[in-house]
Amino acid sequence: MRLGVCWYPEADDRRLWADDTMRMRDLGLQVVLLAGAAWSSFEPERDLFRWEWLDEAIALADDAGLHVVLGTPTANPPRWLVAEHRDAVAFSRFWQPRTSVQPLCVTATATRAESRRIVGVMADRYGEHEAVIGWKLDEAAASFEQMACWCGECASAFSRWLERRFDGDIAALNSAWGTVERSETYPSFDAVHLPRTGRGVNGGLVLAHRRFVAHQRRRFLDEQAEIIRVLSPGRDLITHHDLRHDDLDADVIAGVGTIVGIDNNLPGGQLFVRNGFTHDLGRGLLEGRPTWVLHQELGARQSVSVAEAPTTDHVSRVLWAAHHHGIETLLAARWRGATHGVDQDLVALLDHAGQPTVGWRGVEQYLREVGAADPNQLVVPSARCALVYRFDDAAVGSQPDHHRSVVLDAYSGARRCGFDVDVVPPGRDLSAYDLVLFPATRIVADDSTSSFESAANADALVIVGPRSFDMDAEHGHVVGPVPAGADAVVRAAVSTSVTLSTPAVMDPGGCEGGQWSESYRLTVDADRATKVLARWIGGGALNGAPAVVRRGNVVSMGGSSTEAWARLITALTGRKLAPSGVEVVERGGVEVTIFDPSAMPSLWR
């Protein structure tokens, strides 16, 4: 794993730069990311460009042997530009203009034009610079609420987008969304409005709005990519994601680039497993392409509560975790502590007094440990387990947290059995995997069906979790038994589906089944090959009914907890089960512990 750093020379004293780039090199860094937040520094007034400082910074990095990635600066337009385009400012659902982060609506014609202009100018100047190896496109796509805009241009663009999506056929939209319910039949695409409030809104509309927001972002980035590809041939294009949110479809957005870049902080206040999941989710977005961590925080911000102050060892372990999860390049955030702005309390490599921080020392320790390690143990092998994940599935129904819980249960269950896991979008051929998981893969469509069939037909062990294959691609409920497709293979269909505040128990095994719980009835064609592996204890109408059913290599599991997935997988694969919370993988024939809470319990409490 290659290390680098986010560098904001525009905020530092110019006399420090030469020394800083040499110190970066000496620390062992190989990449710097810059320019993405510096638009007002290189274009302080319209068409008045100041490139000298950026020329110098790039040259110094180059001199130090550092590769350079340039950020397109469109998330941080200069205030003079915002002032010129007041009508392009994004609005919240409460009519509040966004005045700080990503202030301009990416749908607005003016925003698009400015974006093309500045990217063109930058790419023209630096596109073929030999130090420049890639471009980061705009800033992280964060949560839906943060990225969505309710301005007038978005309102009409949404209608046009729907019109294209449904080939101009409003009857097709009405059919897909089932608008006959509650008399919501739309007479035209113009009559469909952005849903500004949540109560009682048709699920098809909600889901379409999410897709629209992701799509508008994709179009915005497409325009940048088209320009860069021409002016900066051969360079990588890196999309930027905050995968801790699951309400904006990163699959749609990632497709514009050649590298997926994710944000990460130290996993304080949450389970370590989310950290690994985020890596593997990022890794799954572009098949076979590298994945970067673009902005890795290496300490605890003052403004965030943690159970313990991170130690050098903590930081090193986090870097090792990224390594073992297959991250190719990781950029520390950031070189020097910011005196101002939203990253004011971020723990950089150097603090506000210019002293090395715990982040710096963690990087040193990690590189020292890598140097001392058996090279065979540094290689990340191909994963033998795939977990199918679709962002839209979290948008189905009103319980996105429960959805992610089930996904993380499945993921951590597999990891406790020592599996490296590829988190993959539906549609891939999964026949080469040993274990394939469909945890709450709600939407049944050609892509998810073909993935399921590729695995089921290939004799991979396939486990389908609760609330899978029960919705169509437009938020309609499946007509017929569910999990649709799997029911025919296992010959069992869901009989009761419920959200339990008090989990029921699966017997044998004694594992809790979590909140999303389903029982099965065997279908009329069930035969002796259909095996009931567990039944429910408790849960009211669930009690006594099948909870886990298997036929051949396909298993339907009606409940979910880390323990339940882990025990099922260990029972069916014979893999050794690590203690609760411990993440172990094989590297070069040796068991390597990525994370052990008993050895490092503190930050993750």
Return the residues of window 447-506 that contact a second copy according to CB under 8 A. Answer: 467, 475-482, 493, 496-502, 504
Residue 218 φ/ψ, nearest 5 degrees: -60, -45
Geometric angle at alpha carbon 280, from 275 and 286, rounded to 5°: 140
Under DSSP, the state recorded for 46 is: T
Q: In angstroms, what is the minimal distance from the CB of 202 to a second copy?
A: 6
Q: In angstroms, what is the minimal distance from the CB of 422 to a second copy?
A: 29
**Residue from 72, 107, 412, 515 binding a second copy (CB under 8 A):** 515
In which residue are the tokens 């021409």 written?
Answer: 230
Q: In angstroms, what is the minimal distance from the CB of 324 to a second copy?
A: 22
Q: Interface residues for a second copy in 72-91 (CB under 8 A)?
A: 73, 76-80, 82-83
Q: Is 441 in the site for a second copy (CB under 8 A)?
A: no
Binding residues for a second copy, total number by CB under 8 A: 112
> Whose Cβ is closer to a second copy: residue 154's or residue 260's?
154
Q: Interface residues for a second copy in 535-574 (CB under 8 A)?
A: 538-542
Do residues 417 and 396 make contact, with C-beta atoms less than 8 angstroms apart?
A: no
Identity of residue 495: S
Q: Is 10 in the site for a second copy (CB under 8 A)?
A: yes
CB count within 10 Å of CB 50 equals 14
Reply yes or no: is the peptide bond before residue 481 cis, omega within 30 of 0: no
Q: Both tokens of residue 312?
A: 């050098």
Q: Which stretch binds a second copy (CB under 8 A): 178-186, 322-330, 419-427, 546-554?
A: 178-186
Q: In angstroms, what is the minimal distance from the CB of 314 to a second copy?
A: 7
Binding mask 121-150 for a second copy (x = CB under 8 A): -------------------------x----
Round to whole Å and give the CA distance between 216 and 256: 12
With CA atoms as reference, report the closest residue to 327 among 276, 272, 386, 368. Answer: 276
Q: Interface residues for a second copy in 327-386 (CB under 8 A)?
A: 337-345, 352-353, 358
**Residue from 26, 197, 233, 525 binding a second copy (CB under 8 A):** 197
Do residues 396 and 247 make contact, with C-beta atoms less than 8 angstroms apart?
A: no
Q: Both tokens of residue 560?
A: 């979910």
Buried/exposed code over 345-379 (b: 16+ C-beta within 10 A; e: otherwise):
ebbbbbbeeeeebbbbbbbbbbbeebeeeeeeeee
> Whose Cβ is closer to a second copy: residue 180's or residue 529's?
180
Q: Both tokens of residue 163?
A: 């019109």
**Residue from 18, 25, 41, 427 binding a second copy (CB under 8 A):** 41
**Residue from 302, 376, 457, 580 binding a second copy (CB under 8 A):** 302
Round to whole Å and give the CA distance between 299 and 347: 5
Q: Which stretch binds a second copy (CB under 8 A): 153-161, 181-189, 373-381, 548-556?
A: 181-189
Q: In angstroms, what is the minimal distance from the CB of 442 to a second copy?
A: 11
Q: Is 517 in the site for a second copy (CB under 8 A)?
A: yes
